[in-house]
Chains A and B, each alone.
Chain A
């Protein structure tokens, strides 16, 4: 589904943050992306989300060479990828329901056509009773689940999550992990960027370890 070949990236004239990245992310796969702080996890996630262009190498997303895709087509491709930001990026003036429905709304869909789906999804992630609540009154775990629901709303083929358990207590982290596993079982490929070893030890999944800009993969 996603293929990186000799991908390198540097910011400006600085040193290469990522070097010689060659890997695949198959469909329905589950993997952790880990490494020490500053190793380039967020940068790699941004490459996967097409919000950064590599300075060298080849990236193929869903069978297409990213360097050949015109800018106008990127939104269509991004719709096939769900992303959960470390800082959630929920819009403060919109309710949980409205935040989660946002991806469908920007696609110009009629609200009547997705209202029940959004409510079902919110119930699914345990926010059925927080539908009309603004993000300001949601707890960290609830915000995280709202962000996950938003990322999943349009049934993406891959979900990227940046430190999804960074702002929650261990029991909530466990619950979120189980949620990701459940999603993966339903067919969504999942990439979780984390440096929480405890979390990774709970699942026997592929580990992509970034160290000094280089990637080692342990199947």
Chain B
């Protein structure tokens, strides 16, 4: 080993000898670079938008369901005035008839003052109900889960009090159900679009970063690494990036909802809060909403990891395809 000895002699006699220690072995893929950081930011932004949309849709859904249940929780019996009718007696009778049905909870006769208040927007203040033939109302609260037989109630009322008309708010409920369903569908559509955009962005960004690291895949391949090993290394790397990114995005979205919820709770009965509540409902996600955010984060992390694995395996396949088809030289010199 004369040459080796000479090489060692020439290179191993520097003026200052450094101790022979090896730094802790680093990961095969560079832990952070511009591409990796950019991917993390992209994932964080997409996770934030997806979680925000998820939260918003869940809020809209809760609000729409709230409207629906509030309206369908009551029915109204309207009694038209007539000369031969004792209104007060008929109101009481109608209330008792309604409450005799299974599925009703309580009944309330709207008194003169309440009726006048109800008509105030159209007929103005100071209305004297004795001067006008104004119908009177009985409001009956029902059990939503076990509603009474409306047809039977309607038949009985019309038989006993011909001037009585039962309004189960079906038209309103149907319209609200339809509006709420449309709102939920639109929200769901927006959610699907945002998730699709997120999935595609994450996939393309991950593929872009791997394409920038193709030389690493090639070197590992050429030093005898099996496809599974290379894929595992890339998976580990991208799992870390995506977990950091999605955790950041998801946490910011969750904190935003918490802050908005706290603001709304602390500023009740102010015009701003009332307006926000009317527009968006309450900024409260509930356990399901926060679990949804957590699930979104996990989905993004898994998606990135899976994309990394598939892209690396495909890169290795491409390298092998060049092998099986010399026509695909991938720009390598043929000299």
Residues in A lying within 8 Å of B, measured CB to CB: 9-13, 17, 37-43, 46, 49-55, 71-72, 74-76, 78-79, 83, 85, 89, 91, 93-95, 97-98, 101-103, 105-108, 111, 115, 119, 123-132, 145, 150, 154, 175, 178-179, 181-182
- Does B8 touch A at the CB level, under 8 Å? yes
Determine if B220 and A93 form an interchain contact, defined as CB atoms under 8 angstroms apart.
Answer: no
CB distance from B327 to the nearest CB of A (A): 3
Nearest chain-A residue to B9 (Cβ)?
A126
CA distance A58 to B215 in the complex (A): 30
CA distance A101 to B28 in the complex (A): 11
Can you sample 5 A-B contacts with CB below 8 Å? A43-B334, A51-B319, A51-B322, A93-B26, A126-B7
The answer on a CB contact under 8 Å between B11 and A129 is yes
Query: Are the C-beta atoms of A132 and B23 separated by less than 8 Å?
Result: yes
Please state if B329 and A11 are interface contacts (CB–CB under 8 Å): yes
**B226 lies within 8 A of chain A by Cβ:** yes
Of B3, B11, B18, B320, the residue contacting A179 (CB under 8 A) is: B3
Q: Which of A37, A51, A89, A131 contacts B215 (CB 8 A)?
A: A89
The verdict on B333 contacting chain A, using a C-beta distance below 8 Å, is yes
CA distance A38 to B334 in the complex (A): 7
> Which chain A residues border B319 with CB–CB below 8 Å?
51
Contact A105 B28 (CB under 8 A): yes
Whether the Cβ atoms of B12 and A131 lie closer than 8 Å is no
Chain B residues 1 to 53 lying within 8 A of chain A, measured CB to CB, are 1-4, 6-8, 10-12, 14, 17-18, 20-23, 25-26, 28, 30
Chain B hits for A54, CB < 8 A: 326
Which B residues are closer than 8 A to A by beta carbons?
Answer: 1-4, 6-8, 10-12, 14, 17-18, 20-23, 25-26, 28, 30, 215-216, 218-227, 229-230, 319-320, 322-329, 332-335
Point out the residue from B17, B25, B224 that lies within 8 Å of A103, measured CB to CB.
B224
Task: Give the Cβ gap from A164 to chain B, nearest Cβ, in Å.
Answer: 14
B333 shortest CB reach to chain A, Å: 6
A to B contact number (C-beta, < 8 Å): 143
Question: Known contacts being A11-B327, A102-B219, is A17 close to B25, with CB within 8 Å?
Answer: no
B227 proximity list for chain A (CB < 8 A): 72, 75
Q: In the complex, which residues of chain B have a beta carbon less than 8 angstroms from the beta carbon of A39? A: 335
Report the separation of the CA atoms of residues A103 and B17 in the bound assembly, to the nearest whole angstrom: 29
> Of A76, A106, A119, A181, which contacts B22 at CB under 8 A?
A119
Decide: B4 and A50 in contact? CB cutoff 8 A: no
- CB closest chain-B residue, reference A82: B223
**Chain B residues whose CB sits within 8 angstroms of the CB of A49 once the complex forms:** 222
CB distance from A111 to the nearest CB of B (A): 6
Q: Given contacts A52-B322, A94-B26, A131-B22, are A182 and B1 in contact (CB under 8 A)?
A: yes
- Whether B1 and A40, one on each chain, are in contact in the complex, defined by CB atoms closer than 8 angstroms, is no
Bound-state Cα–Cα, A181 to B2, Å: 11
Nearest Cβ on chain B to A64's Cβ, whole angstroms: 16
Residues of A within 8 A of B18 (CB): 129
Interchain nearest-CB distance for A79 vs B (Å): 4
Q: Which of B10, B219, B327 has the most CB atoms of chain A within a 10 A radius of its CB?
A: B219
Please give, as numbers and ranges, the residues of chain B lying within 8 Å of A17 by CB-CB distance: 334
Given contacts A124-B8, A126-B12, A129-B12, whether A50 and B223 have CB atoms under 8 Å apart is: no
B43 vs chain A, min Cβ distance (A): 22
A102 to B233, CA, bound (A): 13
Q: Which residues from chain A contact B218 at a C-beta distance below 8 Å?
A: 89
Q: Report the separation of the CA atoms of residues A80 and B335 in the bound assembly, to the nearest whole angstrom.
A: 24
Tell whether, in the assembled complex, residue A11 and residue B326 are in contact, meaning their CB atoms are under 8 Å apart: yes
**Alpha-carbon separation in the docked complex, A106 to B223 (Å):** 8
Most A CB within 10 A of own CB, among B220, B222, B223: B223
Cβ of B229: which chain A residues have Cβ within 8 Å of it?
A: 106, 108
On chain B, the residues within 8 Å of A37 by CB distance are: 335
Kindly state the separation between the CA atoms of A150 and B223 in the bound complex, as whole angstroms: 8
Given contacts A11-B326, A40-B335, A78-B224, contact A182 B3 (CB under 8 A): yes
Contacts of B14 in A (CB 8 A): 129
- Pick the most buried of A43, A101, A181: most chain B CB atoms within 10 A of its CB: A43
Q: Which residues of B contact A150 (CB under 8 A)?
A: 223
**Once the chains are docked, how many angstroms separate the CA of A125 from the CA of B225?**
24
Chain A residues near B225 (CB, 8 Å)? 75, 106
CA distance A115 to B335 in the complex (A): 37
**Chain A hits for B1, CB < 8 A:** 124, 182
Q: Which of B4, B219, B324, B334 contacts A53 (CB 8 A)?
A: B324
Known: A11-B329, A129-B11. A91 touches B219 (CB 8 A): yes
Docked-complex contact A106 and B326, CB < 8 angstroms = no
